[in-house]
Chains A and B, each alone.
Chain A
Amino acid sequence: LVFTEEDKYGLYSNLLFKYFLAEGIVCGHDLFVASAKEHPDNILKELPAPLLDDTYGKELGDEAAAVKSEDFQDSMKIAWRYQNLPKMEASPATFTKFGHYYDMSKKMSPELFQSIKWHSFYLHEELSSQPKMKPCNMNSAYTRLLQSIQRIISQGGFDGSDPQKKQKNVLRIGVQSLGSLLWGDDICCSDTPEDIHSLTKFLYVLRGLLRKSLSACIITVPSHLIQNKAIMERVTNLSDMVVGLESFIGSERETNPLYKDYHGLVHVHQIPRLNSLICDVSDTMDLAFRLKRKQFTIECLHLPPDLSDTVSRASKQDLAGSAKLLSSGCGAMAIGKKHLDF
């Protein structure tokens, strides 16, 4: 269960969301797209085109080779492995097996959709259906969404309930802007919402469904709007992976010369620790992202060398403060904002 905190204007989290879905199509997984904001058909029309040779019909191994042979510049890398941290500074060869590259300037062609089955859930079209679940004091929109997911999972045989189905496939579920007002939940507009347990109950049942079936799910949530931070803490505990996107648009960091190469920061709050005592920890947790015309990349945050004499004290302190926050990762977080002087 990948939980993404949206950036303020939702621009970049939408990109991640689309990448997740696009990857599913390219890998031949089935898709389930749910939204209360945009019609899923529109979302699917906007998916980026994969960077592949014309010979798309070939095996995946051949595709990997084709991508490898493309001429990639220094730091262009994106491998979206939704269960693991994105690797950076590694040569493209090591992770083309797990992910694909996408070209943001082109839309995915409809032929690629033909081979997979996709299901959509657009809240406003589903309002008339009757919930058949046992009532557990959950928001009715969430109830309907859960029911729909459960139905697709059992009908599609993703939970192994259909022994006839020989070929097992993975279901990728994407839910957009959960918790927002459009889903009928008021946690984004009030400090003391009417029902603070709806979202967490929804996540718990969803977690159960995911564990029971061959599916993976990405959820984006406008967490900057959620007033009650207790909910965010509970949600973090209920998710496997939690990633937050902080874009620089409209914040003072936009003009900060230290961040000039990037469009925002990636905060990894939690990484999954499944079936093992340890989790896959990379060397660093300082990640930033940038969006170029064709590619969206996530890389290590490199601060430019401090060459200028005129860097004021204020910005230095601010940088130290934010560097402290940056270096705190999901395994351990810095307690307090103490500066460490060496």
Chain B
Amino acid sequence: QGRFTLLRDTRTDGSFLVHHFLSFYLRAGCKVCFVALLQSFSHYNIVAQKLGVSLTAAKERGQLVFLEGLKSCLELVFGEEEEQPGQPSPLQFLCTCDLRALFDFVRVSLTPTDGDSWKGPVLLVDDLSVLLSLGATPVAVLDFIHYCRVSVCSQLKGNVVVLVHSHEDSEDEENELVVTSLCHHSDLILWAEGLATGFCKDVHGQIRIIKRLSLQQAGEQDLIQIYQYKIQDRNITFFARGLSAAVL
């Protein structure tokens, strides 16, 4: 409860973690607000069905609030109707570089209404690095996350899960700034990386799980676990380093 989880990928696609958390929280009965900036609803829906969850059903019963970034962006940019003054589009920042409308959307979607019986709210963002590509400044992005944490984690006792991309030799300083800052404030970091030795068919990558115990108690060390993984059509297999099924 009240945790901030950072999903990070380096030179590989960490979106399988997003799919996992989405189906995990939905199955657990939480109310989820999913800010999906990079892919369409049907993409997530198809994968979720393979993982045993129906996003359409979750949306209909009010458990899932899905912001399809690409669709909203088209409505904003090509739409002909005038916006209602009280309800700016959550993707307003494309025009104004201001993420406040996005935050309001998140806050309104996760604030429990009468008759809601869901367990804790969850905010899921895929992915945060896109906000920088669309004109938001790193400070604005960090402020947005900060407001989300205050609202979702502290006030509503919910969880926040965010995906970012990064890598060591990156020249995208703004992105690295955001990622480093988020790492310092995360309770849990799941870091998916490509293998150091290059591409391999049987082992798709390595995941580092970092539990930030140092945040909870002074003097504690962070607990770091490293596994390798292989992604299959309906699930992901994790194994200790060097012990992939192909080798044994």
The answer to whether A binds B is yes
Q: From B12, B50, B73, B130, give the contact of A205 (CB < 8 A).
A: B73
Q: Contacts A273-B13, A276-B47 given: A233-B172 contact, CB under 8 Å?
A: yes
Bound complex: CA of A336 vs CA of B168, how far in Å? Answer: 10
B174 within 8 A of A: yes
B113 within 8 A of A: no
A97 at the interface (CB under 8 A from B): no
Surface stretch bound by B, among A72-80, A132-140, A214-222: A132-140
Known: A137-B95, A233-B171. A334 touches B73 (CB 8 A): no
Q: How far is the CA of A335 from the CA of B46 in the complex (A)?
A: 33
Would B16 and A234 count as touching, CB distance under 8 A? Answer: no
Residues of chain B within 8 A of A335, CB atoms compared: 11, 168, 194, 196
Chain B, Cβ-Cβ closest to A269: B11
Q: Kindly report which residue of chain B lies nearest to residue A278, judged by CB atoms.
A: B231
* Chain A 124-143 per-residue mask, 1 if CB under 8 angstroms from chain B, else 0: 00000000011111000000
Q: A197-B133, A333-B11, A333-B198 are in contact. List 15 more A-B contacts (CB 8 A).
A: A136-B95, A211-B71, A229-B171, A230-B174, A237-B165, A274-B43, A275-B47, A278-B233, A285-B199, A328-B194, A330-B199, A331-B199, A332-B11, A332-B200, A332-B205
Residue A306 at the B interface, CB < 8 A? Answer: no
Which residues of chain B come closer than 8 Å to A332, judged between CB atoms?
Answer: 11-12, 193-195, 198-200, 204-205
B: residues with CB less than 8 A from A are 11-13, 15-16, 19, 38-40, 42-43, 46-47, 50, 69-71, 73-74, 76-79, 94-95, 97, 127, 129-130, 132-135, 165, 168, 170-175, 193-201, 204-205, 231-236
Contact between chains at B77 and A133 (CB < 8 Å): yes
Enumerate A123-165 residues with CB–CB distance to B below 8 Å.
133-137, 146-147, 150
Interchain pairs with CB closer than 8 A, number: 147
Report the minimal beta-carbon distance from A283 to chain B, rounded to whole angstroms: 6
Chain A residue, CB-CB nearest to B235: A277
With A134-B95, A273-B15, A331-B194 known to touch, is A278 a contact of B133 (CB < 8 Å)?
Answer: no
How many chain A residues touch B (CB < 8 A): the figure is: 47
A331 — which chain B residues lie within 8 A by C-beta?
Answer: 12-13, 194, 199-200, 204-205
| Residue from B12, B50, B130, B195 within 8 A of A238 (CB atoms) | B130
Contacts of B204 in A (CB 8 A): 331-332
Say yes or no for A314: interface residue by CB 8 A criterion. no
4 interchain residue pairs of minimum CB distance: A332-B194, A329-B199, A230-B172, A208-B70
Q: Do A334 and B197 have beta carbons less than 8 Å apart?
A: yes
Q: Which chain A residue shows the least CB distance to B205? A: A332
Q: What's the least CB distance linking B105 to chain A, in Å?
A: 18
Residue of A nearest to B20 (CB): A277
> Complex Cα distance A200/B173, Å?
16
Which residues in B have their C-beta under 8 angstroms from that of A207? Answer: 38, 70
